[in-house]
Amino acid sequence: MAHSDQFKALVISETADNQFVRTVEQKHIDDLPKGDVVVQVLYSSLNYKDVLSATGNRGVTRNYPHTPGIDAAGVVASSQNDDFQPGDEVIVTSYDLGMNTAGGFGQYIRVPAEWVVPLPHGLTLREAMIYGTAGFTAALSVWYMIENGVAPDAGDILVSGATGGVGSIAVSILAKSGYAVTAVNGLVDEADYLNQIGAKEVIEIETASDTSKRPMLKGLWAGSIDTVGGDILATTIKSMQSGGTVTCCGNVASPDLPLNVYPFILRGVTLIGIDSQNCPMPIRKKIWEKIASEWKIDWLEALTTEAAFDELDSKIELMLQGKHKGRTIINMSA
């Protein structure tokens, strides 16, 4: 590929009065950071972290102007690493992509070879981005829960933030794997959608969020995939059955966890933190293989919205308003 090639990228810039604006700009390959592998991005996807980066959250992105996009799937354009050849179909998620490294909301990225995952057999590039970081995180959470001994016959599994990206895929993978799933749905009433993707029961945030301040609650759940934190996560941990496992990956409700030690010392509850960004490559590849095979959801399209690159701005706005549902993939060449 000639290095004079131009491509489109969404750029977030900071104005003199500390506002953050989103514009589409023409970029050159030479503008990209150093790396071994240049990838033509055919699909990207929208994650909560992208919205944080797109609105100036310094915890995610330190320096602007910046191109967000923590997910990218596409074709290798050029490579200085023998493991990858031009034309190879690849997935790049996590690490520093889209945070402080120009990300998947540009039509090209350049990254270290260590960040690149060959597209597993059984998955298209488009499907890989339907999962994306959200789906990978959901799958990683389910994997850790199962590794910790929670089998389908152990009892019900609670999933919070269930209409969101992580939540929707977690509900789907669990339902496909034979688990009985109760979904917490708060901001919009989406019970029909949640039943369609496999939830057995749907409960409201108020039901999942105890305000009595009791140290322990009735043991309801064998496992839980939490994506929201705060009171809902604290209530969930207090409501676990003996030996239950909870995974924790997000903080859309709150980063706080108002809790005591009793669920851990009286019921042996396990709380597992999920960090998809730094997931070691051998586990990462294993999870992508599962996503492409036994955990491949038959109803992927039911949770997918496809947007063209030019619609990205309005989709970011929707997620900002908490109105986003399921997974939004971005067709970078449309």
Ligand X SMILES: NC(=O)c1ccc[n+]([C@@H]2O[C@H](COP(=O)([O-])OP(=O)(O)OC[C@H]3O[C@@H](n4cnc5c(N)ncnc54)[C@H](OP(=O)(O)O)[C@@H]3O)[C@@H](O)[C@H]2O)c1
Per CB under 6 A, residues contacting ligand X are: 47-49, 133-134, 137, 161-167, 184-188, 205, 227-228, 249-253, 274-277, 319, 322, 324
CB contact at 8 A, 188 and 211: no
SS3 category, 231: helix
Provide, rounded to whole angstroms, the least separation between the CB of residue 137 and ligand X.
4
Provide, rounded to whole angstroms, the least separation between the CB of residue 121 and ligand X.
25
Provide, rounded to whole angstroms, the least separation between the CB of residue 278 and ligand X.
9
Provide, rounded to whole angstroms, the least separation between the CB of residue 15 and ligand X.
26
Cβ distance to ligand X smaller for residue 242 or 321: 321
Among residues 90, 108, 92, the alpha carbon closest in space to that of 6 is found at 108
Cβ distance to ligand X smaller for residue 275 or 294: 275
- Give the Å distances, CA to CA, from 299 to 80, 91, 169: 38, 21, 10
Cβ distance to ligand X smaller for residue 215 or 322: 322
| Alpha carbon 307 to its chain's center | 17
CB contact at 8 A, 135 and 303: no
Written as one string, the DSSP assignment of 186-216 is -SS--HHHHHHTT-SEEEEHHHHS--S--S-
Provide, rounded to whole angstroms, the least separation between the CB of residue 171 and ligand X.
10
Cβ distance to ligand X smaller for residue 137 or 241: 137
Cβ distance to ligand X smaller for residue 116 or 253: 253
Cβ distance to ligand X smaller for residue 66 or 284: 284
Cβ distance to ligand X smaller for residue 28 or 58: 58
SS3 category, 229: strand
- Distance between CA 294 and CA 271 in Å, rounded? 25
- Distance between CA 287 and CA 193 in Å, rounded? 26
- Give the Å distances, CA to CA, from 173 to 18, 38, 231: 42, 32, 25
Provide, rounded to whole angstroms, the least separation between the CB of residue 169 and ligand X.
8
SS3 category, 92: strand
Cβ distance to ligand X smaller for residue 77 or 134: 134
Provide, rounded to whole angstroms, the least separation between the CB of residue 216 and ligand X.
22
Which residue number has the CB closest to ligand X? 164
Provide, rounded to whole angstroms, the least separation between the CB of residue 329 and ligand X.
13
SS3 category, 22: strand
Provide, rounded to whole angstroms, the least separation between the CB of residue 77 and ligand X.
27
* Contacts of residue 146, Cβ cutoff 8 Å, sequence gap at least 6: none
Cβ distance to ligand X smaller for residue 101 or 227: 227
SS3 category, 27: strand
- Distance between CA 246 and CA 260 in Å, rounded? 15
Q: How far apart are the first and last CA of the chain?
A: 21
Cα angle 314, 325, 130; round to 5:
90
